[in-house]
Amino acid sequence: MNPPTRVAITAVSGRMGRALIQALEGRDDLQLSAAIGRAGAEYLKQDAGRLAGVMPLGVPVIADLRAVLAQDKTVDVVIEFGPVAAALDHVLACQQTKTPIVIGTTGFSSEQQNVLKTASRDIPLLLAPNMSVGINVLLAYLPAITKALGESYDVEIVEAHHRHKVDAPSGTALALGRAVAKGRGVDLKDVECLDRNTIRGPRQEGSIGFATLRAADVVGEHTVWLAGAGERLELTHRAASRLNFAEGALRAARWLAAQSPGFYDMQDVLGLKPGPVL
């Protein structure tokens, strides 16, 4: 049997951090080798398993990813679901130590995404705003669906998340928008409509609209509306729990640890590229 892939998980105290530790339980192909939390947090030194509400794992939460990666090869891949600033710092630490990194964090600016792309010249780096199989299949087919329906169909993307989410629209909604734009041969930045409150007038032809809901404990829901004269196609994905995302991230980590430096996404992991012919 192949040795387990040794993973370091950052932001372990977060909703996704805890889900990742829970999803590791019972797996012999992956092993937690480091658990990283926020400097100064009260949970530092606690066992990562206990923090996530599962069996103790013998891995205390520490604050310094750099120190762990500086040690001789104890981590095969880092999984990052922390805030943007922490994620960027962790990417630089990975770049310096040639460690692959899976990133689920959303809300990077274009400039920040360029930092990630630059790092991926030196290390395998995977960025995916949504690690679920369902969303990634939708992302793969959406360009072809949009193209088949034609320019006259209005596209609106509606997303709903829990009340704690900080970025809007969600990373997934923006990725769905880019997939629609790809099907139309345009750049999303040129056609996106993120806010209808500040403009007056009818819907701009060819625009892609976004609407955001934030409420209670909604895990994550996305609907793409494709509305033509007299009909409407609605493509909806609903995440029932974060374990789905966590399992996708673990699958990605195992895959990425065996790749050469490059910029990857979840569709690479799932073998969904190049996708249907446009």
Ligand X SMILES: O=C(O)C1=N[C@H](C(=O)O)C[C@H](O)C1
Ligand Y SMILES: NC(=O)C1=CN([C@@H]2O[C@H](COP(=O)(O)OP(=O)(O)OC[C@H]3O[C@@H](n4cnc5c(N)ncnc54)[C@H](OP(=O)(O)O)[C@@H]3O)[C@@H](O)[C@H]2O)C=CC1
Count of positions on this chain that bind ligand X (CB under 6 A):
9
What Rg do the C-alpha atoms of the chain give, in angstroms?
A: 20
User: Which of 5, 10, 13, 106 touches ligand X by CB under 6 A?
Assistant: 106
Q: How many CB atoms lie within 10 A of CB 65?
A: 24
36 or 226: whose CB is closer to ligand Y?
36
Work out whether 248 is an interface residue with ligand X (CB under 6 A).
no
Residues facing 233 on adjacent strands: 226
**Between 17 and 171, whose beta carbon lies closer to ligand X?**
171
Work out whether 214 is an interface residue with ligand X (CB under 6 A): no
Verify whether residue 98 is a known catalytic residue.
no
Residue 220 found at the interface with ligand X (CB under 6 A)? yes
Q: How far is CA 51 from CA 13, 14, 21, 164, 188, in A?
A: 7, 10, 9, 20, 40
For the CB of residue 161, give the shortest distance to ligand X in the complex, in Å. 5
Sheet-wide strand order for 231-239: 192-193, 208-214, 154-161, 220-228, 231-239
| Helical ranges in the chain per DSSP H | 15-24, 48-51, 65-70, 84-97, 110-119, 133-149, 171-184, 188-191, 243-256, 266-269
Within 8 A by CB and 6+ apart from 124, the residues are 100, 101, 256, 257, 259, 260, 261, 262, 264
Of the CA atoms within 13 Å of residue 258, those in its CB half-sphere come to 10
Residue 270 interacts with which of ligand X, ligand Y, none, CB < 5 to 8 Å by class: none
Q: Which of 27, 52, 78 is nearest to 253 (CA)?
A: 78
Residue nearer to ligand X on the CB measure, 134 or 275: 134
Binding mask 152-191 for ligand X (x = CB under 6 A): ---------x---x----xxx-------------------
List 45, 98, 147, 165, catalytic entry? 165
In the bound state with ligand X, the residue whose beta carbon lies nearer, of 5 and 132, is 132
Q: For this structure, is 165 an active site residue?
A: yes
- Check 161, 182, 222, 237 and give the catalytic one: 161
Residues forming the site for ligand Y (CB under 6 A): 10-11, 13-16, 36-38, 41, 81-83, 86, 104-107, 128-131, 171, 245
Q: In angstroms, give the least distance from the CB of 70 to ligand X.
A: 31
Annotated catalytic residues are: 161, 165
Q: Which residues bind ligand X (CB under 6 A)?
A: 106, 129-130, 161, 165, 170-172, 220
